[in-house]
């Protein structure tokens, strides 16, 4: 289990899997109170429960970056087990007709006060219609919007490479270089790198022309290794 101690939060990384599908769900704990939120719980409920118990964490909310099954799989289960709310962007819930009873919603940049933390959701459509990154303390949780080495695919209803280009440009403008980045998947490099490093090394963050970005993102060969996670 990966644990990063930052100035105001501790970040616990749970590597979870189902068959060949590997995800990282993140538990973010207030260092003063041990109250916590979890981002994108999936696949292994026992791993999540064990992490919370061993570290004495009190879970207060579930945050979901987008509705794809590998990110939303245990949102209901964790919410019910701990009697806590689950949150997803209003754009995501409305576009994909998700149950109103399953999720509370938020708007872009609406500060969520949960677990004694000020959580800023940043709407980053492109991978899905209402994909969201969460800025919590000194950490950014990006789901499938951006990885260390790439960015999310733009396949399926509501996906848009045009919007993804704009979302990545927005992150480049608004996120400080020192912020640590925690995506939902890992390819090669260790998660928790700072944003400045991603800006230097991630090719998608260095394409300045929108049409070039769209053509590169949508090239057929990019699908080949899209799910080779570790």
Over the stretch 166-214, which tens digit does the pLDDT of each residue have?
Answer: 999 999 999 999 999 999 999 999 999 999 999 999 999 999 999 999 9
- Is the model's pTM score more than 0.75? yes
Mean pLDDT score of the chain: 96
* Of 96, 140, 105, residue with least CA distance to 122: 140
Please, what is the end-to-end C-alpha distance for the chain in angstroms?
14
Domains of the chain: residue spans and CATH: 2-220 (3.60.15.10)
**Beta carbons of 131 and 145 less than 8 angstroms apart:** yes
**Beta carbons of 114 and 166 less than 8 angstroms apart:** no
Instruction: Identify the pLDDT of residue 3.
Output: 92
Q: Which residues, in sequence order, are CB contacts of 4 under 8 Å at separation 6+? A: 10, 11, 13, 139, 180, 192
Q: Where are the beta strands (DSSP E) in the chain?
A: 2-5, 9-18, 21-30, 35-39, 58-63, 86-89, 104-106, 112-114, 117-123, 132-136, 139-143, 180-183
- pLDDT interval class at 100 (50, 70, 90): confident
What number is the average pLDDT over the span 87-103?
94
């Amino acid at each position: 289990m990966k644990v990063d101690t930052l100035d105001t939060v501790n970040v616990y990384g749970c590597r979870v899997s189902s068959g060949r599908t590997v995800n990282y769900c993140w538990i973010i704990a207030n260092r003063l109170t041990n109250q916590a939120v979890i981002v994108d719980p999936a696949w292994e409920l026992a791993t999540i429960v064990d992490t919370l118990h061993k570290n004495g964490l009190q879970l207060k909310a579930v945050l979901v970056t987008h509705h794809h099954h590998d990110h939303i799989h245990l949102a209901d289960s964790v919410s019910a087990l701990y009697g806590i709310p689950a949150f997803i962007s209003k754009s995501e819930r409305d576009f994909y007709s998700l149950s109103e009873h399953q999720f509370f919603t938020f708007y872009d940049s609406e500060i969520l006060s949960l677990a004694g933390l000020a959580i800023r959701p940043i709407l980053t459509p492109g991978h899905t219609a209402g994909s969201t990154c969460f800025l919590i303390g000194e950490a950014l949780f990006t789901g499938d919007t951006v990885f260390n080495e790439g960015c999310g695919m733009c396949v399926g209803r509501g996906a848009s490479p045009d919007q993804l280009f704009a979302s990545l440009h927005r992150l480049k403008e608004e996120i400080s270089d020192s912020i640590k980045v925690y995506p939902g998947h890992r390819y090669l490099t260790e998660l928790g790198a700072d944003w400045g490093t991603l800006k230097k090394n991630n090719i998608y963050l260095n394409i300045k022309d929108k049409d070039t970005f769209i053509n590169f993102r949508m090239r057929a060969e990019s699908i080949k290794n899209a799910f080779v996670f570790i």
